[in-house]
Amino acid sequence: MAEPPYRRVIIKLSGEALVGPGDFGIHQPTLERIATDVVAARGSGVAIGIVIGGGNIFRGVTVSKSGIPRATGDMMGMLATVMNGLALESALEKAGASARVMSALAMPGVCDLYERRRALRLLDQGHVLVFAGGIGNPFFTTDTTAVLRAAEIGADAVFKATDVDGVYSADPKQDGSAQRFDHLTHGEAIARNLKVMDITAFALARENHMPIIVFSVRQSGAISAVLRGEGRFTVVRE
């Protein structure tokens, strides 16, 4: 069997990816499908960490517009990522993986506190790690968290799981003329102000020479396919 092209990766999974056909919350069949895909990918020998978002439950940016301070709203959003992380941990274990949630926020009795050396040991032991709680501070997105955790654990790339098959010049669901890119540099993504990830995440990835692969997670087997270099995706790298 050929060696997998990646040794260790971070998958950035948005909370919205767990909604499925609904508008809010967690769609259990979608959650279990994604978990099954992750376990299959782990079976190929790739160490996997997942940074989970919380937008399917709560978005701090949205509620800050209604009067709640942004810092407070972001902290509430971090709690939503822990809820999603626990649900994903359960689904991964049901699918046959050994999984562990590590939060940037101390939550004894709920999940482990993130600590880099412990995370590395758990990855080496074969656990799938689910990183929740963002970076533990407001004003930073889970996109930035994904790149930060990838740099910390020595990942080969960040895989951004979305609902479209790559990076476009505009939202292809709203603009039929949107241009799709197969390859971009971090600098080009920043200069074009592409919304697939925030500027801080792209800048941190550029500084750490971290490739970002953007793909759709809507189909079964998508994670394993993109790890093999198959299917449609966009590669952002210098």
CATH code for the domain of 229:
3.40.1160.10
Q: Does a structural domain hold residue 101?
A: yes
Q: What is the DSSP string of 35-52?
A: HHHHHHHHTTT-EEEEEE
Phi, psi values for residue 181, rounded to 5°: -110, 135
- Taking each helix axis from N to C end, the angle separating 116-124 and 142-153, rounded to the nearest 10 degrees, works out to 70
Predicted local confidence at residue 2, as pLDDT: 53
Predicted local confidence at residue 66, as pLDDT: 77
Mean pLDDT split into 10-residue runs, the chain, 238 residues:
78 94 93 97 95 89 79 94 98 98 97 98 97 96 98 98 94 91 97 94 97 95 93 95
What percent of the residues of the chain are helix, what percent strand, and what percent coil, each to the nearest 5?
A: 40, 20, 45
- Total of domains in the chain: 1
Q: Does a structural domain hold residue 88?
A: yes
Predicted local confidence at residue 58, as pLDDT: 86
Phi, psi values for residue 216, rounded to 5°: -90, 135
Q: What is the pTM of this model?
A: 0.94
Q: Does a structural domain hold residue 2?
A: no
Q: Does a structural domain hold residue 138?
A: yes
Q: Does a structural domain hold residue 1?
A: no
Predicted local confidence at residue 74, as pLDDT: 92
Q: Does a structural domain hold residue 173?
A: yes
Predicted local confidence at residue 5, as pLDDT: 80
Question: Which residues constitute the domain of residue 205?
Answer: 8-236
Q: Does a structural domain hold residue 123?
A: yes
